[in-house]
């Protein structure tokens, strides 16, 4: 397992495409919590289950004032097709070129296989990572850790 950025670390800012002609910058979300979910690939079974779960409980993330961003090394066109097919209601960001640059910045890139690990980060309103977790690629990490971290931010 890679050494992902730990809690207490400032979250590296980035700008990534969410569609072929639109980009999102992490700093746009300053002032609210962000859940950053790195995952290996669109269309893979475990990723599909994980992202479907997050889509299903998106209102719980939003009840904590948090935005959810999915990140993989797939391209923007792939993300658009995947989000449309799965009816996802949160942005998928393309860490495509240079491949895995943002994943690398967070310590979540798998050099051997060329994709992002299944890594989760909860970033507070000031841009500081308050919780991070890396799950084995074949295991859906669920949402309990994310929700606990968001509840902790409110205390």
Report, as residue numbers or ranges, the catalytic residues: 47
Nearest by Cα to 135 from 9, 39, 34, 66: 39
Give the span between the Cα atoms of 17 and 74, in whole angstroms: 11
Give the span between the Cα atoms of 155 and 152, in whole angstroms: 5
Give the span between the Cα atoms of 80 and 19, in whole angstroms: 6
Nearest by Cα to 140 from 17, 48, 62: 48
Give the span between the Cα atoms of 133 and 49, in whole angstroms: 18
Query: What is the separation, in whole angstroms, between the first and last Cα of the chain?
Result: 31
Give the containing element (helix H, strand E) for 81.
Answer: helix 76-86
């Amino acid at each position: 397992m890679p050494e992902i950025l730990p809690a207490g670390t400032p979250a590296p800012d980035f700008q990534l495409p969410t569609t072929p002609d639109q980009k999102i910058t992490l700093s746009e979300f300053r002032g609210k919590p962000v859940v950053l979910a790195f995952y290996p690939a669109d269309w893979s079974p475990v990723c599909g289950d994980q992202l479907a779960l997050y889509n299903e409980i998106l209102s719980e993330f939003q009840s904590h004032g948090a935005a959810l961003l999915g990140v993989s090394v797939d391209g923007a066109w792939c993300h658009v097709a995947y989000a449309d097919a799965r009816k996802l209601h949160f942005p998928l960001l393309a860490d495509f070129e240079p491949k895995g640059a943002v994943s690398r910045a967070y310590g979540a890139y798998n050099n051997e296989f060329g994709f992002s690990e299944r890594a989760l980060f909860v970033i507070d309103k000031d841009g500081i990572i308050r919780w991070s977790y890396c799950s084995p690629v074949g295991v859906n990490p669920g949402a309990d850790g994310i929700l606990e971290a968001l509840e902790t931010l409110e205390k």
